[in-house]
Amino acid sequence: MNDALTGQTVELLQQLIRNQCVNDGTVASGQEVRTSDVLRAYLEGSGLDIEVYEPDGAPGRTSLVARIEGTDPAAPTLCLMGHTDVVPVTAEHWTRDPFGGELVERRGVGTRRASTC
């Protein structure tokens, strides 16, 4: 296992967790722009075609699309999709900050189900 890559991955995941993109169902919630900005900065220079979309009437509710152009136009398309918002949390039900992104005994804590996709 590459320790540098692991450390970089953990740091990125911690940033994403700490963004607290909580979607309570209102247009103003979520503010996924925080995560889109982090991911765009992380992916810049990677050779990916990156676009960020923001729906009309929903400022801050951005989506990021990163695309790799294939070499075979007849090959099928592959789409990997995820989301960057989470449902609201009741903090008093947690023993640690659910948005802390802490590592305890080399395990993620406060991850809010860091990957639900």
User: pLDDT (tens digit, 9 = 90+) per residue, 55-70?
Assistant: 999 999 999 999 999 9
Of 92, 85, 116, 97, residue with least CA distance to 16: 85
Q: How far apart are the C-alpha atoms of 63 and 36, rounded to whole Å?
A: 7
As a whole number of Å, the end-to-end CA separation of the chain is 24
pTM comes to 0.84
User: pLDDT (tens digit, 9 = 90+) per residue, 15-57?
Assistant: 999 999 999 999 999 999 999 999 999 999 999 999 999 999 9
3-state secondary structure of 96: coil
Q: How far apart are the C-alpha atoms of 7 and 96, rounded to whole Å?
A: 22
Domain edges within the chain: 3-88
Residue given tokens 């398309």 in the structure block: 77
